[in-house]
Structure 1
């Protein structure tokens, strides 16, 4: 992108193209065809996303129950999570096309319905094989929920209220990992592992009804036929690459065929997709031309890197209290509520700030600084016992995660035309999937090297926390390239 174009996009906050060539994002009041309350729309979307994320964390708690009930090893039981993740990854690249072809709201309702069917089937599974198969159905349903949620928000809110709504969208991502272990442990202990899935049914049914009544459905420009070859190379590449990283996270050696072959195939397919897209005159399932926009590129880079720090916070801290402090899963989960409270406090404030006089760059950097302060507190802790200082660190991390995550949901679209929203959201979701897989594998490898071999003392966790702190520092680099202010209203 030329220097002139970059300056216009960032400083003036409007697309470089003239308005007649590129429709701007809608203003306050959202879609002209709808007078739905943006707050009601945000709550409905957040509830659907929250259930999907909560399901993921609860299933993680249920792994031990799967091994006992079905009489299988942990490696087999973990396929319940791996299959779900791979199914999600395979369909995400088609989100932008589906939103334009059928409308984002209709696609959202269809995805919820598939997730609902998968939840019912999982709750009735009779073998480990059937559970894995039904988790694939669940994964297909969940795949488009998060990008669709953001596409609908942009349609409804416009620039004036986008920050507040996007902040509400960040709640599921930040709160579900905190509440999931507590709720999951209680359900499994008092009822059975089947309720990890049956819990979804009434809530998703309610979300489907509320979505049909409250979400406007607008189709974009005719997207043409689905790029099947592009979907196979991009979706297949993601699946293969994430499979390799998932095997790596389970402790498989990097030189093992279980890691090396899927990763190599994934990279080859993604490279083939990139070459094919570069030669094509029309955008593929992922529009790489979007990366010419500085705000979009910086936001997507933060999305990818932020997963390293995020997993450092939501995975390392509970393990620290369990292994170094001797707490049980429920006890460690209860302690994490302090982080959830910090997130809630930030959500009440940051959305309005983003919508009015925000400086996204400063908000993200400030959030990363709070997360870094919290991680540093844990890195220097000489005990795994709960102290006031550690609880304050958790509270600060909760605020920091909200500050670091929410603004980039808005800056992603800072200087893009409305017609690019589905494609931009899809590309960002692909980046998030990759970041999640690589982040999980990296944290797992660090834990394996420093903690599990050494026995899990607080001193052993210290090194892993320092690594997580390094990842937070790396995330600050693209944050420096975020736009310094909100776009001007048209």
Structure 2
């Protein structure tokens, strides 16, 4: 075994001591991964802004156009589980480049779509590539930097994960209003082309490995299970009724298939499960997964509520709403690099607890301050504090799981964490959407959150003021539920390691993936 302090290895620079900054090689690899992450994450939020324009252009109902977003999500859920096996079988560089190529091809075709059906089909193709970009990229980064610097590299790849929900609406609103909806897809082509060129030049060539047998039964259980589960949740939230026969059957079927996969993966004789659930026996992995699930559930739900508040209660455009979300991004940019370094030096547990406390403080601001005429400065301040907390929560949590793993365990763990984040985000969005609809209904407002704010000239001022006050009160009540979810996240977070994680004893030094 090569000591981390060794000056070099035959394959590249040896892993530096803990706490040392990132060298140029690792930073170059990180930039390649960030390019891919930016495409896949921005795409989700950019498209959401354009749904109403797409409905008008294709003369299709919103329920149909919604599949432009839902079809992409279902494709993600279908392909993510196979990423760990594909990384081991074909190599992370090949897989990463293939995923970017598929995403770019899907983007170019989506930009040329001639009707709603063709657009939905091309979005599915996009999702098949997009689902592999993040887990493959995280694997490349973790293996390039080694466990002692995983916090720093995860903070870099986390930037687009946290800024995507902010930059996406701004970019999408501008492109849709001033250019063309087709450019929300075309813009991915030059970014993807640059990512492919840099990947070919910078990432280390994949080393040949013995073929690993694909867990076919696991794939047949998990991929359809996740797709059914997410479809059921998305449809139930859209219809505001989880008791409808088709929604209930799909959701239950998805849950049964996922449970069936868990039983199959944990069988004694199963040596190569699609996702190695035995990794969750490690305290750090289990605690990180629980923290990530509850945090993602609360975060993505909260991110759904605020733009709706700005547009329905305050009457702001999609573009302006995106600008009003910017303080969150500035907060995350300040703390994310610091959070990564602190994670490597003192352990993720201490960093995540402080981050969660800041997020709770920010969300509490919305739960107590949202009214029909709240100060934008006050809401912006709460968003900034929330961003400070997010920069010290999401990626340090993932780092806590990754830092204890051996080289060959990283791809499967990365896949598992991405699945948890995807499913938890879908559950959180559906949960908060239903709660908001219920709160509005309880105040006699029906499904007002899904429509434009009433035109001031069409309703008497005193009646309009009462309606807006009731709507704002519904949004404020919904934020209390996000606070409850965040409070539960403290329980697994308390189990995260609060000391610097030692390099796994059986791990060789991991060479930087660069020529």
TM-score of the two chains, using structure 2 as the length reference: 0.86
Distance 2:196 2:9 in 1: 21
Question: Within 1, Cα distance between the matches of 2:28 and 2:7?
Answer: 13
Deviations 1:249-274 (A, max 9, x none): 21242111221111122122223222
CA contact (8 A) 1:150 1:425 kept: yes
Task: Encode CA deviations 1:118-155: one digit per residue, 9 max, x unaligned.
Answer: 00110000010000100110000001111111111111
1:148 aligned counterpart, secondary structure: helix
Query: Would you say 1:111 and 2:99 are equivalent positions?
Result: yes
Measured in 1, the distance between the counterparts of 2:221 and 2:232 equals 16
Query: 2-side partners of 1:472 and 1:252: how far apart?
Result: 24
Match of 2:487 in 1: 473
Partner residue, 2:142? 154
Q: Which residue of 2 aligns with 1:482?
A: 496
Residue 136 (structure 1) aligns with: 124
Choose the corresponding residue for 1:308, options 277, 280, 297. Answer: 297
Say whether the 8 Å CA contact 2:240–2:434 is kept in structure 1.
no
Q: Cα distance, 1:386 vs. partner?
A: 3.5
Tell me whether 1:237 sits opposite 2:225 in the alignment. yes
Does the 8 A contact of 1:34 with 1:216 survive in 2? no
1:319 matched residue in structure 2: 308
Residues 385-400 of structure 1 aligned to structure 2 (within 5 Å) = 385-400=374-389
Q: Which position in structure 2 is the counterpart of 1:460?
A: 474
In the TM superposition, residue 278 of structure 1 has moved relative to its aligned partner by 3.0
1:408 equivalenced with 2:422 (yes/no): no
Q: In structure 2, what is the Cα distance between the partners aligned to 1:122 and 1:347?
A: 34
Indicate yes or no: 2:249 matched with 1:261: yes
Distance 1:174 1:297 in 2: 23
How many angstroms does 1:387 deviate by? 3.4
More moved, 67-76 vs 388-397 = 388-397
Gaps of 5+ in 2: 14-23, 449-467, 506-515
Q: TM-score w.r.t. structure 1 length?
A: 0.91
**Distance verdict in 2 for CA 1:219–1:444, change over 3 Å:** farther
Gaps of 5+ in 1: 1-18
Poorly superposed stretches of 4+, deviation over 4 Å: 26-32
Counterpart secondary structure, 1:144:
helix
**1:347, 1:96 → 2: CA distance?**
27
Q: Name the SS for the 1:285 alignment partner.
A: coil
In 1, Cα distance between the equivalents of 2:193 and 2:383?
A: 34
Write out aligned runs for 1:34-73 (5 A). 34=12, 37-73=25-61
Which deviates more from structure 2 when the two are superposed, residues 241-250 or residues 405-414? Answer: 405-414
Q: 1:85, CA displacement in angstroms?
A: 0.6
The residue matched to 2:402 in structure 1 has which SS? coil
C-alpha distance in structure 1 between counterparts of 2:425 and 2:322, whole Å: 21
TM-aligned CA deviation for residue 286 of structure 1 = 1.2
Q: Distance in 1 between matches of 2:341 and 2:108?
A: 39
Structure 2 residue 322 is the aligned partner of structure 1 residue 344: no
Against the structure 1 CA distance between its residues 276 and 387, is the aligned structure 2 distance closer, same or farther, given a 3 Å change threshold?
closer
Closer, same or farther in 2 for the Cα pair 1:219/1:91, shift >3 Å? farther
1:159 deviates by 2.4
Tell me how far 1:29 sits from its aligned partner: 9.2
Task: Tell which deviates more after alignment, 409-418 or 187-196.
Answer: 409-418
Match of 2:155 in 1: 167
Q: Are 2:266 and 2:278, in contact at CA under 8 Å, matched by a contact in 1?
A: no
Residue 324 of structure 1 and its aligned partner are, at CA, apart by 2.5
CA contact (8 A) 1:28 1:160 kept: no
The 1:122–1:349 alpha-carbon spacing in structure 2 relative to 1, beyond 3 Å, is: same
**In 1, Cα distance between equivalents of 2:7 and 2:411:** 19
Change (3 A) 1:269 1:488: closer
Match of 2:164 in 1: 176
Structure 1 window deviating more from structure 2 (147-156 vs 428-437): it is: 428-437
2:263 & 2:326 partners in 1: Cα distance?
Answer: 47
2:58·2:116 contact (CA, 8 Å) conserved in 1? yes
* Mapping of residues 244-283 of structure 1, within 5 Å: 244-279=232-267, 280-283=269-272
Matches within 5 A, 1:190-229: 190-219=178-207, 222=210, 224-229=212-217
SS at 1:208's partner residue? helix
Residues 301 and 425, structure 2, Cα contact 8 Å, conserved in 1: no
Q: Could you tell me how far apart the structure 1 residues matched to 2:365 and 2:7 are?
A: 44
SS for the counterpart of 1:122 is helix
2:11 aligned with 1:33, yes or no? yes
Q: How many residues align?
A: 467
Equivalent position SS for 1:380: helix
**In the TM superposition, what is the alpha-carbon distance from 1:30 to its structure 2 partner?**
10
Looking at structure 1, the residues matched to 9 and 182 of structure 2 have their Cα atoms a distance apart, in angstroms, of 41
The 1:219–1:319 alpha-carbon spacing in structure 2 relative to 1, beyond 3 Å, is farther
Secondary structure of 1:37's counterpart equals: helix
The 2-side partners of 1:215 and 1:478 are apart by 35
Q: 2:55·2:62 contact (CA, 8 Å) conserved in 1?
A: yes
Counterparts of 2:58 and 2:484, CA distance in 1:
41
Q: Which residue of 2 aligns with 1:378?
A: 366
Instruction: Measure the CA separation in 2 of the matches of 1:169 and 1:86.
Output: 23
How far is the alpha carbon of 1:111 from its aligned partner? Answer: 0.3
Match of residue 100, structure 1, among 62, 66, 88: 88
Assess if the C-alpha contact under 8 Å between 2:147 and 2:404 holds in 1.
no
Q: Give the equivalent residue in structure 2 for 1:91.
A: 79
Separation (CA, whole Å) in 2 of partners of 1:93 and 1:367 = 29
